[in-house]
Amino acid sequence: KAAEKNGYEHFMLKEIFEQPEVVRATIVPRLSMNEEQVKLDRIHITKEELDNTNRIYIVACGTAYHAGLVGKYLLEKMARLPVWAETASEFRYRDPVLDSHSLVIVISQSGETADTLAALRMAKRAGARVMAIVNVVGSTMDREAENVLYTWAGPEIAVASTKAYSCQLAAMYLLVLYLSRMQGTLSREEFAILRQELYALPEEIQSILERAESIRHIVASTVQKSVFYIGRGLDYYASMEGSLKLKEIAYIHSEAYAAGELKHGPIAMIDGDTLVIGLITQQELTEKTVSNLKEVKARGAKVICIAEEGNEKVTEAADEVIWIPKSHPMAASLLANIVQQLFAYYMAVKLGNDVDKPRNLAKSVTVE
Ligand code: G6P
């Protein structure tokens, strides 16, 4: 076991540190220079079929669902396709409108999660097209979906998902580029810029990993009892993932909230025992979220902000800022999430928890 951990104290930490490499493996072979389209071998959807699709559902559980929310946001914004993202356990029991004009995209690390698999089968029965974004080659979802996009994260041992999530996001970025090109909503020039941005991601992740020690220090001095993660747009979805990670392994009560919704309830709970983690990677939303952070700080909360280098405005509202490299808005929240992974990891270690095998959780939920 120790050898398998490659010198790291836990599988989770090893997997966090593998992210530059696995994200590169997921992106680079599909995005060669000089090409004008992404190469996705097992995606067979034609332009005609896409034109014939009037709704897309992205269905998944847990961390994979959070990748689905990012997909929904980006497919709408960039490919101008109507998309709904939903947890599989809700989707499968609510009789959604599904027919041959629907495309259902399931996302799963294991390819075996019971609810997600049931959703895939339900979609097939209804005549919808199905696509699986999976990590395990040969898994049931891999075998049953007509379209497959692999995440090349390699085996993920720690129960809390880290590298598989980053690869799900990377795969989603590729799919967004692919469908946007097909839709005609992304010019050749824009495509070339985004390709460069995606090529730069592994190094940007690496530069965050090099700051792990400073994140450990911040965790060491953090004792708050209750935590809110807030953000807007893609930062809100990343907040959900950050909050889930803290619950999973640190067993700390935390909640993700859309920053603008704070004033509709949760702000009543803010006091000196609260920590608010504000995500600000979407530059145009800086002022809005900064003003929400000022509100919670005035009520005694400790505020940690995760923001892009150079966005000095955030310092006005934060006790601590954890900086991430400046990146494309599409991919910036992936970087912010690397910080969140390290934050949750060091918190769980500090509390003496079983990081790789948190209580009550299973790596793959194959029964309902
Ligand atoms: C379990 C795991 C989570 C994972 C979820 C979905 O709850 O503990 O880490 O996100 O299942 O798993 P999947 O294999 O479908 O991605």
pLDDT digits (tens, 9 = 90+) for 232-282: 999 999 999 999 999 999 999 999 999 999 999 999 999 999 999 999 998
Position 367 pLDDT exceeds 90: no
DSSP 321: E
- Cβ–ligand 1 distance for 179 under 6 Å, the answer no
Ligand 1 atom with minimal separation from the 160 CA: 9
Instruction: State the Cα–Cα distance between residues 329 and 156, nearest whole angstrom.
Output: 27
Q: What is the pLDDT of residue 32?
A: 86
pLDDT, average across residues 25-48:
93
Q: pLDDT tier at 179 (50, 70, 90 boundaries)?
A: very high
C-alpha–C-alpha distance, residues 357 and 341, integer Å: 15
Any idea what DSSP says for residue 294?
A: H
Mutational pocket test of ligand 1: of 66, 106, 108, 109, the residue with most ligand atoms within 8 Å of the beta carbon: 109
Alpha-carbon torsion, ordered 285, 289, 290, 294, to 10 deg: 160
Active site residues: 363
Question: Is residue 198 within 8 Å of residue 170, measured between CB atoms?
Answer: yes
Per-residue pLDDT at 261: 95
Per-residue pLDDT band at 224 (split at 50, 70, 90): confident
| Residue 159 near ligand 1, beta carbon < 6 Å | yes
Among the atoms of ligand 1, which is closest to the Cα of residue 63?
Answer: 10
**256 beta partners:** 229
Closest C-alpha to ligand 1, atom 4:
62
For the residues 289-310, what does the mean pLDDT come to?
A: 96
DSSP state at residue 170: H
Q: Which pLDDT belongs to residue 225?
A: 86
User: For a pocket test of ligand 1, which of 113, 135, 356 has the largest count of ligand atoms closer than 8 A to its C-beta?
Assistant: 113
Write b or e for each residue in 50-70: b if 16 or more Cβ atoms lie within 10 A of its Cβ, otherwise e: beebebbbbbbbbbbbbbbbb
Distance 161 CA to ligand 1 centre (A): 7
How many Å apart are CA 121 and CA 81, to the nearest integer? 23
pLDDT of residue 287: 93
Whole-prediction pTM: 0.97
Q: Please tell me whether residue 70 adopts helix, strand or coil conformation.
A: helix
The DSSP 8-state label assigned to residue 248 in this structure reads: I
